[in-house]
């Protein structure tokens, strides 16, 4: 239990609470060190021995916090999903149109990749042979996908997307464009800000292309298909 302190002083933690707080601080230090190693040496090159050295632990002691390398990867995957979700949610604030929100999502995704390249690779690519997120971590990943599904469903209901377009098809097209642009930007010009460079500048065009493909079509002109080029026959 926590002992009630005098007013204006921080709470006095019980021994169990102090141990828990210390454990969480060490776990956080391990995650920070692991990210640094992945950024410097590659996501798949994560070394528990190197992580332990950086946080001044004996290598066997690291296993009291993360029982395996895959468990450490899993914690990093979950951190990636949560950081990206927070960035994505902030990006869409104030945007009413689905297409404006989609462009904000694209920009947030590319910004996330630039700011956290090691987490971006771990969460949205497959750089680690044999790694699969745990069921609990994967559930948060699926929740991201479900959020996009709901956004597409709302856009269909609002008439921003044709009603005959399958939700999963629209969603997957949006994801493919988003990831493709970001992957190319990170491979070629990761130092350039979003909105510039060969691929970073294509986000508005990509959203416009998807919009042209998925928006409701105007009704056909009376008396035929395309009136352009029609001859006046008498």
Residue 60 forms part of a structural domain? yes
Residue 229 forms part of a structural domain? no
**pLDDT computed for residue 1 by the predictor:** 45
User: Could you list the residue range(s) of the whole structural domain that residue 146 is in?
Assistant: 80-214
Kindly state whether residues 84 and 175 are assigned to the same domain. Answer: yes
Kindly state whether residues 88 and 200 are assigned to the same domain. Answer: yes
Say how many domains are in the chain. Answer: 2
Kindly state whether residues 42 and 101 are assigned to the same domain. Answer: no
Residue 183 forms part of a structural domain? yes
Kindly state whether residues 18 and 46 are assigned to the same domain. Answer: yes
Kindly state whether residues 36 and 151 are assigned to the same domain. Answer: no
Q: What is the CATH number of the domain that holds 185?
A: 1.10.357.10
**pLDDT computed for residue 19 by the predictor:** 66
Predicted TM-score (pTM) of this structure:
0.85
**Mind listing the pLDDT tens digit of every residue in the chain (234 residues)?**
444 555 556 666 566 666 667 889 999 999 999 999 999 999 999 999 999 999 999 988 999 999 999 999 999 999 999 999 999 999 999 999 999 999 999 999 999 999 999 999 999 999 999 999 999 999 999 999 999 999 999 999 999 999 999 999 999 999 999 999 999 999 999 999 999 999 999 999 999 999 999 999 877 666 655 544 454 444
Kindly state whether residues 23 and 90 are assigned to the same domain. Answer: no
Q: What is the CATH number of the domain that holds 59?
A: 1.10.10.60
**pLDDT computed for residue 217 by the predictor:** 84
Buried b (16+ CB within 10 A) or exposed e, 99-111: bebbbbbbbbbbb
């Amino acid at each position: 239990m926590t002992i009630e302190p005098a007013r204006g002083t921080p709470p006095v933690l019980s021994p169990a609470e102090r141990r828990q707080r210390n454990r969480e601080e060490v776990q956080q230090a391990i995650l920070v060190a692991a990210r640094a190693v992945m950024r410097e040496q590659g996501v798949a090159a994560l070394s528990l021995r190197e992580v332990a050295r950086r946080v001044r632990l004996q290598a066997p002691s690291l296993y009291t916090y993360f029982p395996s390398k895959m468990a450490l990867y899993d914690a990093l995957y979950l951190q990636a999903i949560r950081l990206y979700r927070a960035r994505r949610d902030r990006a869409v604030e104030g945007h009413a149109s689905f297409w404006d929100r989609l462009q904000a999502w694209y920009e947030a995704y590319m910004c996330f990749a630039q700011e956290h390249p090691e987490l971006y690779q771990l969460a949205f690519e497959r750089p680690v042979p044999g790694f699969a997120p745990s069921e609990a971590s994967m559930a948060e990943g699926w929740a991201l996908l479900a959020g996009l599904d709901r956004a597409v469903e709302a856009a269909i209901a609002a008439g921003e997307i044709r009603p005959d377009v399958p939700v999963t098809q629209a969603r997957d097209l949006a994801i493919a464009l988003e990831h493709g642009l970001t992957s190319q930007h990170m491979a070629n010009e990761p130092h350039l800000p979003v909105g510039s460079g060969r691929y970073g500048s294509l986000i508005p065009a990509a959203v416009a292309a998807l919009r042209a493909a998925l928006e409701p079509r105007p009704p056909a002109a009376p008396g035929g298909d395309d009136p352009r080029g029609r001859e006046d026959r008498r």
